[in-house]
Amino acid sequence: MNVLYEHGTLAMLMAKNLAGTITLKDLLKHGSCGLGTFEGLDGEVMILDNQVYQADSTGQVHHITDMTTTLPFASVHFPKDKQPVSLTKVDFDLLNKDFVAQHQLQNVFAALRLHGTLSDVLIRIAPKQKRPYPSLLEVAQGQPTFPRQNISGTIFGYYAPEAFGSITAAGWHLHFLSDDHQYEGHLLSFAAAQLMGDYEVFDQLDQHFPVNNKEFRQSDVDLASLREGIAQSEGHQN
Ligand SMILES: [Zn+2]
């Protein structure tokens, strides 16, 4: 049994519920690798081998050791059934089409971890919000982006089937962390001659909800704009 644990949903963030509802301490009980954001959509979080990194919207990367830090949304897992992959001429186009088709990911959740040198990369970092919170989409429309060339590091994240595109981002949701830990964020586009790593397919999704959060329990999700809003907020280019 390979389990992907998800706390909160993107539908929640679209409905302006940006309060942190799980601590890092509790989150790490469910996985040693993952993605997320801190309370108030404060930056982009990557968890690799139990180490937590967060980029803030100035582009600074922090190694987070305060386990009381809270997150409104995160996905984590314990690597268990890693399948090695070696890819050449890699970009989102290859991952979206060839990779998904070759590994038959279209109806499953999967994790992907790749390492190597990226000739081009563009990331975005969500800026921290204050109450009253805006929606995920409003934040996504004004977020800083940071380009780099020839930088080595790790691409890590998840694939979700189209059918689940209202609780999480459909397709790939990937973050990048440079080897020197100075550059990190939500991956918008990239290109690499060769990347090595592994992927893993999950046969179980463990969706956890912040049931003690009143705002979450009382909020209304605008279903008409939900999927489009998530795609615009969490999507990547090309
Ligand atoms: Zn992200």
Query: Distance from the CA of 213 to the center of ligand 1, in angstroms?
Result: 23
| Ligand 1: centre distance to CA 154 (Å) | 14
Percent of the residues in the chain that have a pLDDT greater than 70, as a whole number: 99
Tokens of 9: 């949903």
Distance 219 CA to ligand 1 centre (A): 23
Going from the Cα of 1 to the center of ligand 1, the distance in angstroms, rounded, reads 25
∠ CA 116-5-21, rounded to 5°? 110
Q: Residue 225's pLDDT is what?
A: 86
Distance 225 CA to ligand 1 centre (A): 20
Residue 99 belongs to domain with CATH number? 3.30.1330.80
CB 113, CB 196: distance < 8 Å: no
Residue 100 Cα to ligand 1 middle (Å):
19
Q: In 10 A of CB 222, how many CB atoms?
A: 12
Question: Domain of 52?
Answer: 3-234
- Residue 224's pLDDT band (cuts 50, 70, 90): confident
Rounded to an integer, the average pLDDT of 78-98 is 98
Q: How far is the CA of 156 from the centre of ligand 1 (A)?
A: 10
Cα 186 to middle of ligand 1, angstroms: 4
| Residue 232: per-residue pLDDT | 86
* Confidence at residue 238, expressed as pLDDT on a 0 to 100 scale: 53
- Backbone φ and ψ for 219, nearest 5 degrees, come out as -80, 155
With helix as H, strand as E and coil as C, how does the chain read? CCEEEEECCHHHHHCCCCCCCEEHHHHCCCCCEEEEEECCCEEEEEEECCEEEEECCCCCEEEECCCCCEECEEEEECCCCCEEEEEEEEEHHHHHHHHHHHCCCCCCEEEEEEEEEEEEEEEECCCCCCCCCCCHHHHHCCCCEEEEEEEEEEEEEEEECHHHCCCCCCEEEEEEEECCCCCEEEEEEEEEEEEEEEEEEECEEEEECCCCCHHHHHCCCCHHHHHHHHHHHHCCCC
Average pLDDT over residues 144-155: 98
| Residue 130 Cα to ligand 1 middle (Å) | 19
Distance 207 CA to ligand 1 centre (A): 18
| Centroid of ligand 1 to alpha carbon of 21 (angstroms) | 18
Please give the tally of structural domains in the chain.
Answer: 1
The mean pLDDT of 45-59, rounded to a whole number, is 98
Q: How far is the CA of 50 from the centre of ligand 1 (A)?
A: 18
